[in-house]
Amino acid sequence: MKKNKSIYIETYGCQMNFSDSEIVASILTADGYEITKEIKLADIIFVNTCSIREHAEERVRKRLQFFRSLRKKSPDLVIGLLGCMAERTKVALMEEEQLLDLIAGPDAYRHLPQLLEQVGTGQPAIDTILSVDETYADITPVRLDSNGISSFISIMRGCENYCSYCVVPSARGQERSRNAATIVNETRDLFEKGYREVTLLGQNVNSYQWSAGGETVNFAMLLERVALVNPLMRIRFATSHPKDLSEELLHTLARHPNLCKAIHLPVQSGSNHMLDLMNRKYTREDYLNRIQNIRQILPGCSISTDIIAGFCDETEEDHLETLALMETVGYDAAFMFKYSERPQTLAADTLKDNVPEETKERRLREIIALQQKLSLANNQQEVGKIVEVLIEGKSKRSDSQYFGRTSQNKVVVFTKADSWPGDYIPVKITRTTSATLLGEFANPDMQ
Ligand code: SAH
Ligand code: SF4
Ligand code: F3S
């Protein structure tokens, strides 16, 4: 395929996928391609896909139908599928439905230039082989859709926890950590380019481990090194698996003001029976102990979670235990989902997806309603306080307002003062909704 062609990349799924799209953009621009934000200008369309729930895959299929309609008008248009759906759907999408010209799994992005050359030669342009050591450590991502302030760095890939409902281990392969020095260097580089916040990404960042020259760096040590790059660089991370959250990590967070006081700790369910069937490897009691540790070592730290409603065999009592646990923890925020059975998972192979759809929906509604109440109650406690906000940009609703975040990851909208995105400013919180804090620029002397 000739170079100087324009590539449009559309990304679905989690932040890791967005981070991967930046790696893809970097590999392809180094090879002479251009990235375009205009689908109309594209010679090549890549969809970076997610498999986590059935709904995610359906959205991608619909988009692929639309892209195929574009290809009818421009027969030279190349359509490629990247990411977590690659391995699972390659036969159906490429051979039977002929929706695709190219398929590349999450560890095959270095081969994209080669695969693009293969399109149209009669050789199938498919590579879904998963690697045991690929971390793209040497590739400086091209930042896509960035606000110039916040960014992310993937510090590990894959997952080996095999939660019974989850497709990630089969979609992304073995867990591997990225060279610590390259993570620190990339953070420094981002800071020098004006970024002020970086989120370190992995499916289970607490099990990060990198060994070189007789030295082993664990996640707490990595965080410390990244924190020391510059005190004005905020550091976040996701996701923490509750079974591996160490006290060492909490003490490290306490030592550095620029390590954000926000922990995302997915619980999935409040019932020990569910947690066991989910293969989460902790109990409700273990989880609540972790929460107590966080509250003791990091007072004022916000805690968010993920919850699945209606997993296999879930009874009304199991569901009530989830609601009770949510109340006990008093989460600041949550991502809440209905269980969606995924092929090639432990649950699909060994358990029955036996909670009726309307029960799943009702339980999810109850979970969402409770979380809204908890989020509002937490946010109301901020009213009247002066908080430090990192400005990210103009508010969507009004040009005269900015939005930014607190260390606790709460979104704050406030009247523009004499300051700019990337600045840290004190804001007095005057009102709140369950999702957003509203405030006014406060006198810096009061900071
Ligand atoms: N590695 C992270 C989560 C990654 S997936 C962790 O272990 O916490 C993000 C969230 O999607 C999960 O926490 C879970 O709540 C949800 N999820 C994963 N598989 C799902 C499924 N089959 N059905 C519904 N929700 C699911
Ligand atoms: Fe999936 Fe569990 Fe791995 Fe998270 S830890 S990605 S939920 S298998
Ligand atoms: Fe992320 Fe979806 Fe893959 S959540 S890891 S893009 S299956």
Task: Give yes or no for residue 159 CB within 6 A of ligand 2.
Answer: yes
Ligand approaching nearest to the C-alpha of 15 = 3
Report residue 134: phi and psi, to 5°: -70, 125
Task: Give yes or no for residue 342 CB within 6 A of ligand 3.
Answer: no
Q: 13 alpha carbon to ligand 3 midpoint, in Å?
A: 5
Long-range contacts of 182-190 (CB under 8 A, 24+ apart): 182/137, 182/138, 183/153, 183/155, 183/222, 183/226, 184/225, 184/226, 184/229, 186/140, 186/153, 187/153, 187/226, 187/229, 187/233, 187/235, 188/229, 188/230, 189/140, 190/151, 190/153, 190/233
pLDDT at 447: 47
The answer for residues whose C-beta is within 8 angstroms of residue 315's C-beta and 6 or more apart is none
Q: 331 alpha carbon to ligand 1 midpoint, in Å?
A: 17
Residue 207 domain flag: no
Atom 5 of ligand 2, nearest CA residue: 161
**pTM for the structure as a whole:** 0.95
- What CATH number does residue 391 fall under? 2.40.50.140
Residue 11 domain flag: yes
Q: 171 alpha carbon to ligand 3 midpoint, in Å?
A: 8
Q: 88 alpha carbon to ligand 1 midpoint, in Å?
A: 18
Task: Give yes or no for residue 340 CB within 6 A of ligand 1.
Answer: yes
Task: Give yes or no for residue 203 CB within 6 A of ligand 2.
Answer: yes
Residue 394 domain flag: yes
- What CATH number does residue 103 fall under? 3.40.50.12160
Last residue of a domain, one of 102, 127, 152: 127
Domain count, the chain: 2
pLDDT at 443: 72
Task: Give yes or no for residue 240 CB within 6 A of ligand 1.
Answer: no
Ligand approaching nearest to the C-alpha of 50 = 3
Task: Give yes or no for residue 154 CB within 6 A of ligand 3.
Answer: no
Using the atom order of ligand 3, give the atom closest to the CA of residue 12.
6
Can you tell me the distance from the alpha carbon of 353 to that of 218, in angstroms, rounded to the nearest whole number?
38
Residue 206 domain flag: no
Task: Give yes or no for residue 173 CB within 6 A of ligand 2.
Answer: no
Task: Give yes or no for residue 206 CB within 6 A of ligand 1.
Answer: no
Q: What is the mean pLDDT of the chain?
A: 94
Testing ligand 1's pocket by substitution, the residue of 306, 322, 342, 368 carrying the most ligand atoms inside 8 A of its CB is 306
pLDDT at 445: 59
Q: 225 in helix, strand or coil?
A: helix
E strands in 95-233: 102-104, 125-127, 150-154, 156-157, 176-177, 197-201, 209-212, 215-218
pLDDT-flagged residues of the chain (< 70)? 1-3, 96, 444-447
Task: Give yes or no for residue 342 CB within 6 A of ligand 1.
Answer: yes
Q: Scan for tokens 């309307």, then name that residue.
A: 358
Residue 209 domain flag: no
Helix (H) or strand (E) holding 277: helix 272-277
Residue 362 domain flag: no
Which residues constitute the domain of residue 80? 6-127
pLDDT at 393: 93
Q: 29 alpha carbon to ligand 1 midpoint, in Å?
A: 33
Residue 86 domain flag: yes
Residue 423 domain flag: yes
Task: Give yes or no for residue 268 CB within 6 A of ligand 1.
Answer: yes
Q: Token digits for 316? A: 């009304």
Q: 308 alpha carbon to ligand 2 midpoint, in Å?
A: 13
CB count in 10 Å sphere of residue 4 = 8
Last residue of a domain, one of 111, 127, 143: 127
Ligand approaching nearest to the C-alpha of 51 = 3
pLDDT at 218: 97
The reply to whether omega before 239 is within 30° of 0 (cis) is: yes
Task: Give yes or no for residue 60 CB within 6 A of ligand 3.
Answer: no
Can you tell me the distance from the alpha carbon of 371 to that of 425, in angstroms, rounded to the nearest whole number?
29
Do 278 and 269 form a contact (C-beta atoms < 8 A)? yes
Listed residue (53, 445, 77, 76) closest to 64, CA to CA: 77
Last residue of a domain, one of 127, 152, 180: 127
Q: Token digits for 389? A: 């906000």
